[in-house]
Structure 1
């Protein structure tokens, strides 16, 4: 690999703190919350739930792009994250844990509380999520400059930014001005459906690496057929990626479609963050000049291991095991 090759990956997205507690089904019933899914709540609601549990919460950085960038940092990559947090204990914890994971935080501070997602995990391993977006929604499009993406090989843009179109355009424009490739993860089929009027133009004009799971790909391409979906995903980009869960993934590059096998092993404990960490492995490989096959192998290992733990943060011994593939 040439010495002057860029390898930095910079992510931009929601700076959220994941708070996980293990609780009983009865505890969830007292909250009058149906099991599974996500509910938007106020910060006081989360504080009240935490006050009612006697379980010690597990607190880690969260948000889709953040999960990917933390994964890259843990792989030993040059990683940077752009976001906005509150001037509070949760925000300080978020930023310090990013540093601990070898990520450079470019995180501005708001007077609003740090965004957070409280996940109540019941004995059947289901997660019921209470989300307060807080300061994460206040990232100012006018504050996003090419300097933030300096020396970046790949900029990872969180699909949820499409709900703030000015911010999305600002991030894409700044990343391109800095000479970076742009990777866009479509985030959810709701994001795709809500952005149908601008999504194809954004992808054509800015995106080099387009990543989608089955639901997102169907919403974007209209195809159930995997072959047709990945062909449509690859139009206008250098890499079109279709993730199909336990069946693996497809990567289209220069009109060649490469099948990447998933790792077979134990049944999943929790799939949260699996797609984000799959992206971490794949983008790390591409940024370092690895083949698509090798990048996909690292991605599959990251995605598999994410399914074996609660939440999207892997222990150090797991990262050591994955890094042996590199």
Structure 2
């Protein structure tokens, strides 16, 4: 069982040739509204990859709340831990350019009400194999969730995004940290990747740094380092790549796949996602992941 504690939002995505700079207006070619949020993205990715998944979070009582909740449920996610609160659902305002790159402004709204564990949350976390956390909800929720998980033997996987300083009371309860290269360097304050990895492993037992087209690097404290190359693809929209990777990785690790195999499987999931527009709408099924992995063998 995988429990995800975090954000559920509506992504408002505009596609442009080149993203505007400050003060500039550009013409877009397409606009989409797609359910997202880093928490919901990871939950949907894990469920579509074959995991048994439960989501803890909140949506508003506005017109976005129901479609976000419905997308989770239709993807196979247990939404019993999702609350509906008064006010707007969280939103992410995304600009995607022709290279698949993006810039994002997140407005938490309902997600800001997730400040700790409510009735039933601790039981869900305690009964899970993995707890997936991100930082689009208040830090207090991540800290509480991680503490409950540690007390009950649940493996904590943290995606430190948006990138920010992390308190020791959170990091001390994290088992696997999964930053991208930018987030890893923000956390460590150094540019050298090897030194960044050393800094991370002083604080968490395992770090998995995603490196975009360069693949990913797994490092365990006092143990192995594994680098897995990315699948060569032409990206359309990289918005949900990291969340897809984490969701699929949790499924693979839960199935006791060897480290390199698990990383390859998660990388395949992310490679499929970046070739499709949108966040939750881009995430692959288990069969699609297996097929791409088999093509590399």
Q: Partner of 1:227 in structure 2?
A: 194
Q: Partner of 1:47 in structure 2?
A: none
With over 3 angstroms needed to count, the CA separation of the structure-2 counterparts of 1:262 and 1:306, relative to structure 1, is farther
Matches within 5 A, 1:240-255: 240-255=207-222
1:147 alignment partner, one of 123, 135, 140: 123
- CA deviation map 1:79-134 (0-9, x unaligned): 11111111233111111110111111211111111112243556675656554322
Query: How far apart are 1:151 and its partner, in Å?
Result: 2.1
CA–CA distance in structure 2, aligned partners of residues 315 and 127 of structure 1 = 15
With over 3 angstroms needed to count, the CA separation of the structure-2 counterparts of 1:187 and 1:225, relative to structure 1, is same
Which of these two proteins has the greater Rg computed from alpha carbons? 1
With over 3 angstroms needed to count, the CA separation of the structure-2 counterparts of 1:67 and 1:33, relative to structure 1, is farther
Task: Tell me whether 1:117 sits opposite 2:92 in the alignment.
Answer: yes
Q: TM-score normalized by structure 2?
A: 0.84
Query: How far apart are 1:309 and its partner, in Å?
Result: 1.5
Q: Does the CA contact (< 8 Å) of 2:2 and 2:129 recur in 1? A: yes
Q: Does the CA contact (< 8 Å) of 1:16 and 1:61 recur in 2? A: yes
CA–CA distance in structure 2, aligned partners of residues 214 and 63 of structure 1 = 20
Query: How far apart are 1:186 and its partner, in Å?
Result: 1.1
Query: How far apart are 1:322 and its partner, in Å?
Result: 0.3
With over 3 angstroms needed to count, the CA separation of the structure-2 counterparts of 1:96 and 1:241, relative to structure 1, is same
CA–CA distance in structure 1, aligned partners of residues 77 and 274 of structure 2 = 23
CA–CA distance in structure 2, aligned partners of residues 261 and 299 of structure 1 = 10
- CA deviation map 1:269-325 (0-9, x unaligned): 221111111112222111111111111001111221222122223558765220344
Q: TM-score normalized by structure 1?
A: 0.77
In structure 1, list runs of 5 or more residues that go unmatched: 1-7, 36-52
CA–CA distance in structure 2, aligned partners of residues 237 and 218 of structure 1 = 15
With over 3 angstroms needed to count, the CA separation of the structure-2 counterparts of 1:209 and 1:315, relative to structure 1, is closer
With over 3 angstroms needed to count, the CA separation of the structure-2 counterparts of 1:236 and 1:127, relative to structure 1, is closer
Query: Cα RMSD over matched residues?
Result: 3.0
> Between Structure 1 and Structure 2, how many residues are aligned?
290
- Higher helix proportion, which one? 1
Task: Tell me whether 1:10 sits opposite 2:37 in the alignment.
Answer: no
In structure 2, list runs of 5 or more residues that go unmatched: none
Q: Partner of 1:81 in structure 2?
A: 55
Q: Does the CA contact (< 8 Å) of 1:75 and 1:323 recur in 2? A: no
Q: Does the CA contact (< 8 Å) of 2:175 and 2:206 recur in 1? A: yes
1:160 alignment partner, one of 99, 116, 136: 136
Q: Partner of 1:3 in structure 2?
A: none
CA–CA distance in structure 2, aligned partners of residues 208 and 233 of structure 1 = 11
Task: Tell me whether 1:257 sits opposite 2:231 in the alignment.
Answer: no
Q: Partner of 1:276 in structure 2?
A: 243
